[in-house]
Each structure stands twice: as C-alpha cells, then as structure tokens.
Amino acid sequence: MKFSNNLLNNKIITTIIAWLLILLSIVMSYSFFNWSYNVSYNKIEIEQRGHRYFAAKKYQQAFDDFYRVAVLSDDAKQKSLNYRYAATAAYASLNFQQASSMAISALQYNQANMEARSLLKTMLKHKQVKKDKIKHINLDK
C-alpha cells in the first residue's frame, strides 16, 4: 500500500510539474512575440533607430527605417516628414533616383514640406535628377 501511494504521489507531482512547464512555455512565448511585435512596429523606436543610423553614416539602414515609418504612419504630415528623412538618407548614400522619389512622395503628402523642395532644387541644380521627372512640381513655393 505504501509503495502504490508513493507511486501515486510521484505521478501527481510529475503531472503538476509538466503542467507548470507547459504554462511557463506559453507565457514565455506570448511575452517574446509581444516584445518582437512591438519592436518591429513601434514607429517612434524605428524612427529613432533611423536617426542613430544616419548619425553613424549608415545611410542605407537609415533609409530603410525612415521608409518603414513612412509606410506605417497614418498622419499625412508624419508620412511626409519620414519620406523626406528617407530622401535625405538616400541622397547621402548617393542614390539620387531613390532620393528624388522619396522627396516627391514627401511633397505628395505635404505640399508645404520645404526641405523636400530644397532637396529637389539641389538635385536639379547639380543635374542629379531630370527636369521632366519633377516638372509637375512647383519648386518655387
């Protein structure tokens, strides 16, 4: 009788430990996926990382982050600002076609974005963008 009671207690303890491990793994999985989702889609965090990349002269990574924030943003002015940041990063990495496309996108969301206009004027002055690509944009506003 004593032996079967011991065996029964061991099975109960083993079952409890197994359920606790399953519960612990569920909680850990939920925490990890919640953390990774927030890191992947937190616009403020991504934009700050883009500024850090830009300061470290890692322009392509900065461009990727600014472009991602622009796509994720709902506000037109915020989209315009981040497209302009992306344009500046692309310009710094000497990718003029990408820079002009991002500056044009910035102006589509906010016509008053003077920095985007200035970047396009500079690119036009140095013949880094063709006049016919930006002929529909009034750069003198």
As a whole number of angstroms, the distance between CA 135 and CA 98 comes to 17
Whole-model pTM over 0.85? no
* Contact residues for 66 (Cβ-Cβ < 8 A; gap 6+): 47, 50, 82, 83, 85, 86, 89
pLDDT tens readout for residues 50-109 = 999 999 999 999 999 999 999 999 999 999 999 999 999 999 999 999 999 999 999 999
What pLDDT shows up at residue 91?
96
As a whole number of angstroms, the distance between CA 117 and CA 83 comes to 12
What pLDDT shows up at residue 42?
82
The domain made up of 43-133 has a fold known as 1.25.40
